[in-house]
Each structure stands twice: as structure tokens, then as C-alpha cells.
Amino acid sequence: MDIDFPLILVVLTFAALFIWAIDAALLAPRRRAREAELKARFPRWSEQGDADQQGFREQAERVLRQPVVVEYARSFLPVLLIVLVLRSFLVEPFQIPSSSMVPTLLVGDYILVNKFAYGIRLPVLNSKVIDIGEPRRGDVMVFFPPHDSRYFIKRVIGLPGDRISYAGKVLSVNGQEIPQSLVAQLPPLSPSYQISEEDLDGVTHFVRKELLRSGPDNFEVTVAPGHYFVMGDNRDNSSDSRVWGQVPEENIVGKAFAIWMHWGSFFSLPSFSRVGMIR
């Protein structure tokens, strides 16, 4: 079962905020009134070494202490608010779970996603409240696919109105074949796949294609208004718009822009050799 962390974060933040508000409005005034009564009862409560001070401290410890739930709420509320703002409106970390974006992104890469590049959206609801920008061809985008509630990450290939075709491992946009140049065929002695450099409107990146088999092929479609056509850079090992369709604008989460760590497995050590910008 997938954990909806944004929802949990929002619930915890508002729960802490509610507890703090109830305390500020109802409980704190009562504590202040009790404190004033104790100070009147022990007039020399502030004098060092006086019996009134000792009596005041003993009574205050008993009647002025905040409830434990209020203490926790007041302690965690600033942290929860900071994390909520950062993750919801600025930058959110993600971990790559599959090989669909190889060679650009590897399984175990930890990436950062710009949450405001395509507009400010409300957490959980994901509805856009401030329009800042739109996805561009070549962007690496995080989104919810139309068939799944989990985050996916793919490359934007087609914008609204574009005509996309993919046949014989050749990608074309609006009738123009996307330029590719061969980089390597691997392994060298008995190649099973090739790495090529692709140029999507000036965004150059590497793609992988299998030599002995193929993935989703012979595909042609016109991108609907308010939708985006996405594909994995591992072209023959990617479930993407060729399989489950186009991504609605309201399903967009953000733009992936950097790798900050690689951790291949629980039993391996984290590595920072892949730190850098995503292209």
C-alpha cells in the first residue's frame, strides 16, 4: 500500500495548528489567570531564596504545566509548517523506483522536483492557484498518470496540439523526425542495446534502445488540448503515453531538475557521484 505523505503532512500540520489555536484561545488564558492568582498568593514569589518563591514554584509546576499534547503541538508546528511549504510549493524530493528513464535517471537516484515551475498548486488537491509556466518539450516531468495514483516521471515529448508518431524506433513530432546521433552500442563485443543522443527543441539528452527487441511501437496521435504526451528515455522499457495515454494538465506535479544522491539498495552506501542537473 502506497503512503500518501502529502495528505499525512497536511493532516498533521492542521491538527497541530488546531491544538495550538484551542490552547491559545481557551487554555492559555486560564493558565495566565491561575498564574496571577499564585503571584497574589505568594507576593514574594520572585525573591531568591524566599519561602514564597519555593511555594510558588511548587504550585506552578502542578497547575500551570501545559498538557502534553499541547507541548508536542507547539514544538512540532513550526517544523511541520516549514516542511509543508517546502514540499508543496518549492522543492520536493523523489526517489527513482524503475528503469524507465535510463540512462538519464537510474534506479536509486534521489532527485529534486521544482513544484512551482508549472504553477503554484494546493497540496493534496493539486489544483493550480497561480499560473507561472507550462511544460516545455524536453522537460523531465513528475505527474500522476491517468490510470494510477502514484507519481510517475517521464520526458515531455508532445505539447497540446502536437502530432506525435513513433515507428521503427524513430520519433517524429509534427512530421519532423527528431534528430538522434549514435553514442555507443553495448556491450562492445556483442551489442544488445544502443545509447543515442536526442535533440528535442534544443534539449539534448541520452536515450536507450534495445537492439534485440522493441517496446511500444507504431504509434501516432494528436495531443489533446490541456494534455501532454510523455515517454521514458529507456524507449523499449517504459510504460508511458504510448500505453496509457496522455497526461492531463491537472495531474502535473512539477519539473525534475537535479540529482542529489544515489542509493542503489539498503545494503549499499549512498553515493554522490551522480550529483548534478538533469537534462
Same domain, 72 and 104: no
Same domain, 58 and 105: no
241's CB contacts (< 8 A; 6+ apart) are 154, 157, 158, 221, 228, 229, 230, 231, 247
Cα→Cα distances 188→184, 185, 210, Å: 8, 6, 14
Cα→Cα distances 60→30, 34, 37, 40, 67, Å: 13, 9, 10, 13, 14
Same domain, 100 and 228: yes
Q: pLDDT tens across 260-272, in order?
A: 999 988 888 999 9
Same domain, 145 and 20: no
Q: Which residue has the cell 489555536?
A: 21
| Residues spanned by the domain of 39 | 5-88
Residue 16, strand partner residues: none
Q: pLDDT tens across 31-72, in order?
A: 899 989 988 988 888 888 888 888 888 888 888 888 899 999
Number of domains in the chain: 2
Same domain, 125 and 144: yes
Q: pLDDT tens across 101-157, in order?
A: 999 999 999 999 999 999 999 888 888 899 999 999 999 999 999 988 899 999 999
Q: Give the residue numbers annotated as catalytic, written as ranges.
A: 100, 154
> Which of 45, 60, 88 is the last residue in one of the domains?
88
Q: What is the pTM of this model?
A: 0.84
User: Which pLDDT score, from 0 to 100, does residue 2 have?
Assistant: 62
Q: pLDDT tens across 193-228, in order?
A: 999 999 999 999 999 999 988 777 788 999 999 999
Q: Which CATH number covers residue 169?
A: 2.10.109.10
